[in-house]
């Protein structure tokens, strides 16, 4: 019998959010389409500080209240936002200039100018968030005039424009950059403000701003994001009209279609286990690379994909998605399904009889983990699965969990390496270090053309895969269900698991 334990949700929950969430006025925007759009959220917000936040579902909490310096469109193109233009102004690409709009204000009435952007970028670098290392090469930020910001770089940042189109480029009122109030009360320049009628941990209500500069970004008068961790409950709420859209999973896709709802999809996340304790500190078995490799050989990825994705997934064994510059043909040939090879490696490592491995995950991935457990048991490895309602992403950054469930997807390989593969990466809590990864990452940073950079990224994937730092089984489509008879303008975004809030309108 499989060992699955369900416990109360961990991580930052309502306890962090006890203070009322006043974020500005509750009046609607004159350019809005009117009405309310209701969204079912699979997890609660962990922080309203964008510089400390992850992406994924959290972007739906953040994009209503924060502008970014540069806007990333649904097809991953970049266009002006608060910054009207941006460029390197030196031939060595060590000075990066941003020109700003002059008509933007924060929801608290503070003017958004170069001085405010300077404070935000300095905060984002120092805030210790999961993406902060992407700004490590920013040695100084200056504001030569009210509408110009210059970044001085000590080293190359290959994707600085994309970095500034994400959470690190979100702009907070300077008045809210100190203290911890920002964790529970957003203060941005975006198209909506968070209403005081919100109930932390349950429901977050956003109201459109009258004075917002970009009419295209505003649709409905109000948004209501309800926390609904149960997958079936969210889908039932959508079918009954209680909500207008929500994230769904492959096993729910046919129900969505049968209900006459719109199903949006885009390949994104890799699924698997992060074999994080690569020195064997808490799980001694993982300290032997042969054990980690055996686990990879023991999984029939094609059979697993067929069983759990219902046609919305592809077998895969790398942390960089197939569409990314880091996808490696060499790595892709590793770990064909081979039970005999897996058993031989385990025997040589001293685990011929197998072992039990603790695995931490959220309840929404229970079916996947049961299927994975069933395959690993064929070589004697049993998963002791601990399920919670929330807290999965937090588990990646602590040494409490030697092998947590991983679900993550980003086409930006530079960012992914910064997050997962360097000794000081946020999601490398046991501080595993690889000279080969460091060498190739430095080569990627120094590269002057795409081919050289991509080649270095692919060598990083080869090393991560060969050393079996992860057990990746497949890439799964991100699915999103929308009542398109009521709501328009909802698009999936390349590199994110849910649509950003931008121009959603109520029909009729």
What's the rounded Cα separation, in Å, for the pair 155 and 418? Answer: 14
More confident residue, 463 or 323: 463
* Whether residue 184 sits in one domain with residue 286: no
| Distance from C-alpha of 270 to C-alpha of 52, rounded to nearest angstrom | 22
Kindly state whether residue 67 falls inside one of the protein's structural domains. yes
453 and 494 inside one domain: no
Do 408 and 124 form a contact (C-beta atoms < 8 A)?
Answer: no
CA-nearest of 195, 173, 209, 193 to 65 is 193
Banded pLDDT at 448 (limits 50, 70, 90): confident
- In terms of domains, do 305 and 322 share one? yes
Q: What residues form DSSP beta bridges with 140? A: 152
Name the 3-class secondary structure at 182: helix
SS3 string, 108-150, reads CCCECCHHHHHHHHHHHHHCCCCCHHHHCCEEEEEEEECCEEE
Q: Tell me, what CATH number does 24's domain have?
A: 3.40.190.10
Same domain? For 221 and 309 the reply is no
Residues 344 and 413 in one domain: yes
pLDDT band at 18 (very low <50, low <70, confident <90, very high): very low
* Residue 456 φ/ψ region, left for φ over 0, alpha for ψ in the -120 to 50 degree band, beta for the rest: alpha
pLDDT of residue 150: 98
Residues 187-206: pLDDT tens digits?
Answer: 999 999 999 999 999 999 99
Tell which residue, 184, 190, 459, 158, has the closest CA to residue 326.
459
**Residues 225, 337 within the same domain:** no
Burial (CB count within 10 angstroms: exposed 0-12, middle 13-18, buried 19+), residue 6: exposed
Residue 1 lies in a domain: no
Identify whether 386 is part of a domain: yes
| Lowest-confidence segment of 21-30, 201-210, 293-302, 437-446 by average pLDDT | 21-30
User: Looking at the domain assignment, is residue 249 inside a domain?
Assistant: no
As given in the structure block, the two tokens for residue 493 are: 């975004």
| Domain presence at residue 200 | yes
Q: Residue 317 sits in which domain range?
A: 267-477
255 within some domain: no
Q: Does residue 299 lie in a domain region?
A: yes
Q: Which long-range contacts (CB under 8 A, 24 or more apart) does 121-125 make?
A: 121/149, 121/151, 121/168, 123/51, 123/172, 123/177, 124/51, 124/168, 124/169
Out of 21-35, 74-88, 163-177, 218-232, which region has the weakest mean confidence (pLDDT)? Answer: 21-35
Same domain, 298 and 216: no
pLDDT at 403: 97
- pLDDT tens digit sequence for 148-185: 999 999 988 888 999 999 999 999 999 999 989 999 99
Cα angle 492-315-377, degrees, rounded to a multiple of 5 = 125
- Same domain flag for 145 and 278: no
Whether 154 and 276 map to the same domain: the answer is: no
d(CA 104, CA 107): 10
Report the alpha-carbon distance of residue 83 to residue 161 in Å, rounded: 11
pLDDT of 386-432, one tens digit each? 998 877 888 899 999 999 999 988 778 998 999 999 999 999 999 99
Q: Would you state the pLDDT for residue 492?
A: 95
Rounded to whole angstroms, how far apart are CA atoms 282 and 12?
A: 24
CA 217 to chain centre: 22
Distance CA 478, CA 476 (A): 6
Q: Kindly tell me if the per-residue pLDDT of 346 is higher than 80.
A: yes
pLDDT per residue over 299-309, tens digit each?
999 999 999 99
440 or 497: whose pLDDT is higher? 440
Helix/strand/coil for 153: strand
- Structurally, the chain folds into a number of domains equal to 2
Which of 54, 57, 77, 79 lies closest to 68 in space, CA to CA?
A: 79
Q: What is the pTM of this model?
A: 0.78
**Which DSSP symbol is given to 29?**
P
15/131: higher pLDDT: 131
Contacts of 71 (CB under 8 A, 6+ apart): 78, 79, 80, 81, 165
Question: What pLDDT is attached to residue 495?
Answer: 82
Same domain flag for 218 and 322: no
CATH of the domain at 392: 3.10.105.10
pLDDT digits (tens, 9 = 90+) for 358-376: 999 998 899 999 999 999 9
Mean pLDDT of 14-24: 33
Mean pLDDT of the chain: 91
Same domain, 30 and 49: yes
- The answer to whether residues 395 and 446 belong to one domain is yes
Mean pLDDT of 27-52: 82
Asked if 131 and 419 touch (Cβ cutoff 8 Å), the reply is yes
Q: What is the pLDDT of residue 16?
A: 30
What is the chain's Cα-based Rg? 23
| Whether residue 23 has pLDDT greater than 90 | no
Share of the chain above pLDDT 90, in %: 80
Q: Evaluate whether 114 touches 99 at the Cβ level (below 8 Å).
A: no
Domain assignment of residue 315, yes or no? yes
Closest CA to 58 of 41, 70, 72: 41
> Confidence band (pLDDT; 50, 70, 90) for 6?
very low
- Name the band, by pLDDT with cuts 50, 70 and 90, for residue 33: low
């Amino acid at each position: 019998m499989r060992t699955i334990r369900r416990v109360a949700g961990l991580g930052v929950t309502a306890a962090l959010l006890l203070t009322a969430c006043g974020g500005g006025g509750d009046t609607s925007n004159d350019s809005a389409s009117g009405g309310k759009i209701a969204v079912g959220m699979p997890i609660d917000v962990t922080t309203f500080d964008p510089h400390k936040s992850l992406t994924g579902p959290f972007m739906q909490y953040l994009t209503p209240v924060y502008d970014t310096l540069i806007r990333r469109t649904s097809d991953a193109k970049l266009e002006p936002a608060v910054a009207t233009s941006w460029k390197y102004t030196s031939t060595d690409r060590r000075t990066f200039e941003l020109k700003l709009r002059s008509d933007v204000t924060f929801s608290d009435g503070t003017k958004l100018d170069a001085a405010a952007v300077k404070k935000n970028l300095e905060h984002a670098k120092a805030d210790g968030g999961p993406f902060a290392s992407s700004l490590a090469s920013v040695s100084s930020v200056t504001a030569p005039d009210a509408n110009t910001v210059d970044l001085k770089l000590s080293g190359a940042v290959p994707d600085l424009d994309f970095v500034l189109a994400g959470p690190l480029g979100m702009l907070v009122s300077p008045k809210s950059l100190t203290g911890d109030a920002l964790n529970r009360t957003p203060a941005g320049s975006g198209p909506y403000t968070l209403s005081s009628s919100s109930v932390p941990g349950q429901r977050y209500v956003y109201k459109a701003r009258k004075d917002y500069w970009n009419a295209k970004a505003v649709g409905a008068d109000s948004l209501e994001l309800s926390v609904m961790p149960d997958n079936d409950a969210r889908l039932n709420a959508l079918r009954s009209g209680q909500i207008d859209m929500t994230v769904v999973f492959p096993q729910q896709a046919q129900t969505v279609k049968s209900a006459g709802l719109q199903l949006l999809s885009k390949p994104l996340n890799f699924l698997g286990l992060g074999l994080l304790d690569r020195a064997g500190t808490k799980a001694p078995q993982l300290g032997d690379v042969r054990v980690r490799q055996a686990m990879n050989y023991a999984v029939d990825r094609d059979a697993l994909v067929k069983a759990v994705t219902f046609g919305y997934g592809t077998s895969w064994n790398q942390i960089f998605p197939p569409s990314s510059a880091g996808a490696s043909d060499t790595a892709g040939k590793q770990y064909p399904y081979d039970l005999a090879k897996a058993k031989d490696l385990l025997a040589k490592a001293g685990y011929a009889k197998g072992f039990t491995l603790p695995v931490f995950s959220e309840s929404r991935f229970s079916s996947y983990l049961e299927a994975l457990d069933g395959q690993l048991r064929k070589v004697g490895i049993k998963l002791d699965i601990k399920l919670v309602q929330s807290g999965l992403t937090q588990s990646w950054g602590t040494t409490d969990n030697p092998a947590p469930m991983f679900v993550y997807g980003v086409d930006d390989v530079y960012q992914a390496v910064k997050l997962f593969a360097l000794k000081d990466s946020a999601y490398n809590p046991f501080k595993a270090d690889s000279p080969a990864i460091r060498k190739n990452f430095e080569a990627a940073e120094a590269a002057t053309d795409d081919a050289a950079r991509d080649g270095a990224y692919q060598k990083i994937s080869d090393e991560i895969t060969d050393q079996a730092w992860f057990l990746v089984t497949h890439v799964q489509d991100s699915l999103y269900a929308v009542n398109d008879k009521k709501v328009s303008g909802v698009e999936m975004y390349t590199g994110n698991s849910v649509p950003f809030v931008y121009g959603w309108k109520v029909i009729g």
